[in-house]
Structure 1
Amino acid sequence: MHINQQRIRNVVGISALVIPMIAQAKAPDSIRIGLESVYKDATTVQIKSEEPLAIGYFEGERWRKEGDLDTSEVTVSLDSQTYYNYQEVYGDFETAYDALEIYDQEAVVAYIEPGEYKIYTTDDFEADEVVVSNAKRINVKDTRGEVVLVSENDAYPLGFRGGYNQYDFPATGVGNSRIYRGVIEVVKGQSKGLTAVNQVDMEEYLYGVVPCEVSASWHEEALKAQSVAARSMATFQYSRFLSRGYNLVDTTTSQVYRGITSEHDRTTAAVEATRGEVATYNGKVAETVYSASSGGYTADAKYVWGNSVPYLVAKPDPYETDHVPWKRTITTRELEKCVANAGKNIGSVESVRIGSYSQSGRVNELTILGTAGEYTVTKENTRTFFGGSNDGSLKSRKYQFTPYNGVSIPDVTIKPGTGGNNTDEVAILTSQGMVQLELEGLWMESEETYSKIRDAVYIKSAHEMITSDIFTTSSGGSFEVEGDYNSTSKPATVYGDLTLYGYGYGHGVGMSQYGAKGMAEAGFSYKDIIEYYYEGVVVE
């Protein structure tokens, strides 16, 4: 998932008619998801059910049922057949279907637009006119391969809604294994073939998102934070794929969504507990991007995608304690392939230079030096540049050529309320282990304002963020804490094959999912989590 650099695309044609725009500080009631992980530019789309499929269309966000097919499984394809048209118009599918009896066996019902159906035939005998083929006409075939319906309308796409015995709500199957709530449509949203689209209630969409983004076993406050972040993301990016005929896609380009088969009772409960809540900044829904792991320090959007966002700034991530370091070895031959993929020719690769790091300890500039020149990438490209290597893009930009000397995160955090049942104690997590101290006997020297300063660590309590470089106990003893975050992140050059050592997973902007998990376990609420990771936002 990445920040939306093109806020609203120019939409041509009539797709905008079927996807209403939304208020700036309110989540929409429903949403259209392009199921690109199942069908994208496909020749055919398979739709299933355990009961006869209902057909209809959406009028805004309201489903209008037009009738039922005689089959529980259909295959949808583009149709270039030449048809002949009888000009009589029928007001609904059922009436048109009944009228087929007076025509020959080659006749089929054609959906023209809501409330308008005609009869098509492949036999030109006594037909009124020729129906010119078009690039977006689709046909619907049953399991015997017979065409049972033709659709001419891409503005109000024909929708299919099914049912399964194990669910007490409408559910429709797509492909071999996915089942979705709501209605399935088929559009030609891509350049070549067809894409399946799921129009579904916003909250029910989130039922299938949250368990795909985090583990359902996590603390309920982390699940609630993920629910608010996902709802806010979907609302902010609502217009992103309008030119394709839907709002979002079901992959990490938007948010991972796999329908009913991925749902879990605990994540559904978290969605319901936060129903309708979004993160707002200055009265508008915020783009609450998130990633799996920040590696101990989140990234500023400016140094990832190039544009500053006031609520997406770099900040320490002290509760992300589940750090898993990663290591990658990349050969010069792989590097040469990556350079070639970028359309550059620098000869044989000789060395790689890290030119600079960002405030959050991420590589900001990377140069590949060859016998015939050099090639430099910056910001997020220092991670995605390696997409042509054997193992693809790097897990994060938080890497260097030598092993880290311990975990490169602030060494000390305070977790309130972790001292058993004694709320008068706090646990201080240091790089050497956990120290339990009485709250009454602990005090801290802090700056008057919150800011990043050298040789300081960041401590997050349930009430405020403070910085300190000395902790003093009531007995008068004190100990210093070293916290120069970038002390091990220095520019360097390596020759030959490349070995990288890193922390974190993803772009690192916004909420760290593992950091949210740690904050929840430390006693923070989901609102605390959201309002910490997104500077200046409120949940409402």
Structure 2
Amino acid sequence: MKKHIKIIFTVIFVLSIFINSGFSASAAINVPEKIRIGLYFTDKASGINTAVCSFNVNAAKGLTINSLEDGKLVLLFEETTNNIVTIRKDSFFINTNGVLTEYTPGKEPAKQGEKIGPYHVRIGGDYKDAKAARAQADALKKKGIDAYVAYADCWQVWTGFFTDEATAEKYMAETLKPALGNGDTTVSTVSQSSKSIVVQNSKGEAAMVYCSSKGVLQIQPRTENDPYSLTINNTNSYRGDLEVRRLQDSDMTVTNVLPLEQYLYGVVPAEIQASSHPEALKAQAVAARTYTLSSLNRHETLGFDLCSTTHCQVYKGLSTEDARSNKAVDDTAGKKVLYKGSLAEVFYFSSSGGRTEDSKNVWGGDVPYLKSVEDKYESGDSWKYNWEVTMTSQQVKDRMLQLGYDTGDILNIVITQYSEAGRAIEMVVRGTKGEAVFTKAKCRSAFSLDSQLFTITTDAGVSVKGAGKTSPKVQLSGSKVMTANGVKTIGAGSGSGLMVIGADNKLKPITAVPTTYTFTGKGWGHGVGMSQEGAKGMAEAGFTYDEILKHYFTGVDVE
């Protein structure tokens, strides 16, 4: 089942929810003509790395490659058929039978092949337009010089892909100048640039190098394409255009640019099954549209609005579209969730386990429309509705070290506070050297659990009978007990010799310090906002999409 969850821990983001929810006057809602979705990129802040050093692209009836400058397009290259075009960094590669492997100088991979690099030789001066530059490149090819055009905010002609400047200079002196003859053609080396992008044709030849300082490389399907779409690496197809940037710390960043409603075509079936009830699909479409508009510019530093991963919303483009989910998007076109006239910040997740959670118990901030509500229409048999995770004490210790807590050997893990909905909102991990305290969403993330709705049992749990009743199983580690030598605290190393009198009045050995911890829970996701399983159940029970949304988001309007 295609289930995805959005995990938001950023304090600034939570504060924005709190601030925005306080608006009482109607505010203009910005609906851009097109939005930008990051497909391949690196974002250190969120820990996402999908960046690529090269990719293939084609369109059924051809494509164009342009430089987008101040809203205007400069045509760089055109492929009129469905032939594949390769876009790659102008960097260091080893070419092994046509397969390019990027490497770092001094750390070459074991693969054998031709080394190519980001140094070039420029032949002649600037040309007035692409036509003139290509004519010169073609003339040079007839002389045996492997020339190609380059766009550096003006048209030039270059040759070679050298691994260093010295090799470029040697080629220029020993091969290029003799081939050019005794004319007055000037030649010069072109040093490595962190911005350059190479466009290769279907034959693997360099069609051009793009190194503009003021433009963005944009790839468009030719207008003859229906649907207007591109295919990347022979697998994923996307409506709209692509933008390619080389950014510091984000390798080569690829962005899909398309209208909002077409973007939602690729989101809804990736977030909820297209076979779901039509009203559930509509609720998902409105929630996704609202989330998109409230999250614009979330990745602004990387040149796009939202990413295609669970960090924002899962987006798989044209490849995952379905007529049923497309219809849900069309039937709710423009509909959004509003609170007191302003755009609400909505969230959704897979399943709640019976009741959703108040946002203050997950991310903090008291948001009036993100309150805990009953969720009785979930089927109860969905993927990860019931789950269990078991960890050894050593695994827990290692995890604490990964999180920066040197707690020593683990003595116990205790949930010290629950929300009214039954979720863990404070959890303490106690060890021989100290303890680590986790609150709210960190109760879940500390051990990468599926939800905050869980209990903890161990192999050292015992039932203690007192005052006429038997308690649930408890851990003895850290507890005080009466022994023949007086009151003692049970700690690490106490297990092997500990004896208790059982119900049959016989002494039995028990383990005081757990060696395993089992987390048993319900639901999948953060639990705030709309449960997708609950929405499907409500739709099957006869509720409309707006009734579903109003149930999960307290006091909102759908307009």
Give secondary structure in 1 for the equivalent of 2:40.
Answer: coil
> Hey, what does 1:280 align to over in structure 2?
338
1:27 and 1:232 in contact (8 A); partners too? no
What do the CA deviations read for 1:51-73 (whole angstroms, capped 9, x no partner)?
A: 43321255788877655137721
- Change in CA separation of 1:111 and 1:277 when aligned onto 2, cut-off 3 Å: farther
Matching of residue 48 in structure 1 with residue 88 in structure 2: no
Which one of 454, 465, 482 corresponds to residue 399 of structure 1? 454
Partner residue in 2 for 1:174: 232
Cα distance, 1:103 vs structure 2:
4.0
Q: Deviations over 1:96-155 (max 9, x none)?
A: 434533445333222345xx5433345585337654432121111234332112112376
Give the alignment of 1:283-432 within 5 angstroms: 283-322=341-380, 324-386=385-447, 393-401=448-456
- Structure 1 residue 199: Cα displacement: 1.1
Is the Cα–Cα contact under 8 Å of residues 236 and 285 in structure 1 kept in the other structure? yes
Question: Contact (CA 8 Å) 1:25, 1:280: kept in 2 or not?
Answer: no
Name which of structure 1's ranges 291-300 and 73-82 shifts more when overlaid on structure 2: 73-82
Alpha-carbon distance in 2 for matches of 1:276, 1:62: 28
> Paired residue for 2:148?
108
Instruction: From the superposition, tell whether residues 506 and 99 of structure 1 become closer, same or farther in structure 2 (CA, over 3 Å).
Output: same
Corresponding position of 2:195 = 136
What is the distance in 2 between the residues matched to 1:336 and 1:176? 45
Residue 36 of structure 1 aligns with which residue?
A: 40
Find the aligned partners of 1:258 and 1:227 in 2 and give their Cα distance. Answer: 15
Aligned to 2:537: 518
Unaligned stretches of 5+ residues in structure 2: 1-5, 15-26, 43-48, 91-117, 161-171, 178-184, 459-471, 477-513
Instruction: Measure the CA separation in 1 of the matches of 2:201 and 2:417.
Output: 60
Find the aligned partners of 2:340 and 2:475 in 1 and give their Cα distance. Answer: 44
Amino acid at match of 1:153: S
Q: Is structure 2 residue 120 aligned with structure 1 residue 82? A: yes
Instruction: Report Cα offsets for 1:19-57 as digits up to 9, x if no partner.
Output: xxxx95143222111113998232222223344332125
Amino acid of the residue matched to residue 213 of structure 1? E
With 247-256 and 133-142 compared, the bigger mean Cα shift is at: 133-142
Larger Rg: 2
| Counterpart residue type for residue 157 of structure 2 | I
* CA deviation vs aligned residue, 1:483-502 (integer Å, no higher than 9, x gap): xxxxxxx9975833111221
Give the aligned partner of residue 431 of structure 1: none
Amino acid at match of 2:87: V
Unaligned runs of 5+ residues in structure 1 are: 9-22, 387-392, 404-489
Which amino acid counterpart does residue 426 of structure 2 have in structure 1? E
- Written as runs of structure 1 = structure 2, the 5 A alignment for 1:147-162 is 147-153=206-212, 156-162=215-221
Match of 1:428 in 2: none
Structure 2 residue 255 is matched with structure 1 residue 197: yes
Aligned residue identity for 2:539 = A
Shift of 1:254: 0.8
Residues 469-508 of structure 1, C-alpha deviation per residue, up to 9 Å, x if partnerless?
xxxxxxxxxxxxxxxxxxxxx9975833111221110001
| RMSD value, Cα | 3.1
Corresponding residue for 2:492?
A: none
In structure 2, what is the equivalent of residue 25 of structure 1? Answer: 29
- SS across alignment from 2:88: strand
Q: What is the CA–CA distance in structure 2 between the aligned matches of 1:520 and 1:37, rounded to whole Å?
A: 37
Contact 1:49-1:164 at 8 Å conserved across structures:
no
Distance 2:264 2:420 in 1: 34
- Bigger shift: residues 303-312 or 500-509: 303-312
Query: Is the 8 Å Cα contact of residues 357 and 528 (structure 2) preserved in structure 1?
Result: yes
SS at match of 1:109: strand
C-alpha contact 2:424 2:454 (8 A) present in aligned 1: yes
Contact 2:195–2:247 (Cα < 8 Å) also in 1: no
1:2 correspondence with 2:7: yes
Q: Does the 8 A contact of 2:355 with 2:372 survive in 1? A: yes
SS at match of 2:446: helix
Q: Which residue of 2 aligns with 1:497?
A: 516
Specify the alignment match of 1:240 in structure 2.
Answer: 298
User: Please, which moves more after superposition, 364-373 or 276-285?
Assistant: 276-285
SS in 2 for 1:226: helix
Secondary structure class of the residue paired with 1:25: coil
Contact kept in structure 2, 1:30 and 1:200, CA below 8 Å: yes
| Matched-pair contact (CA < 8 Å) for 2:41–2:253 | no
One-letter identity of the residue aligned with 1:328: V
Contact 1:184 1:196 in 2 (8 A): yes
Q: How far apart are 1:168 and its partner, in Å?
A: 2.2
Given that residues 67 and 94 in structure 1 are in contact (C-alpha distance below 8 angstroms), is that contact kept between their aligned partners in structure 2?
A: no
Aligned residues: 430
| Equivalent in the alignment of 1:440 | none
CA distance in 2, matches of 1:313, 1:54: 49
**Residue deviations 1:147-174 (CA, integer Å, cap 9, x gap):** 1121123764212234799x72222111
Q: Deviations over 1:415-450 (max 9, x none)?
A: xxxxxxxxxxxxxxxxxxxxxxxxxxxxxxxxxxxx
Distance 1:281 1:60 in 2: 36
Alpha-carbon distance between aligned partners in 2 of 1:281 and 1:315, rounded to the nearest angstrom: 17
CA distance in structure 1 between the partners assigned to 2:147 and 2:548 by the alignment? 60
Q: Is the 8 A contact 1:27 1:276 kept in 2?
A: no
**Could you tell me how far apart the structure 2 residues matched to 1:285 and 1:491 are?**
47
Matched, 1:118 2:156: yes
Range with greater deviation from structure 2 (493-502 or 338-347)? 493-502
Match of 2:551 in 1: 532
Q: Is the 8 A contact 1:138 1:150 kept in 2?
A: yes
Distance 1:83 1:238 in 2: 42
- The match for 1:73 is 84
- Normalising by structure 1, what TM-score? 0.72
CA distance in 2, matches of 1:60, 1:224: 37
Moved more, 187-196 or 353-362: 187-196
Matched, 1:212 2:270: yes
Q: Judge conservation of contact 1:293–1:508 (CA < 8 Å) in 2.
A: yes
CA contact (8 A) 1:109 1:150 kept: yes
Quote the Cα distance in structure 2 between the aligned partners of 1:87 and 1:328. Answer: 67
For residues 213 and 278 of structure 2, what CA distance do their matches in structure 1 show?
A: 42
Q: Counterparts of 1:354 and 1:506 in 2: how far apart (Å)?
A: 19
Aligned partners of 2:53 and 2:387: how far apart in 1? 40
Structure 1 residues 51, 190: CA separation in 2 closer, same or farther (over 3 Å shift)?
Answer: farther
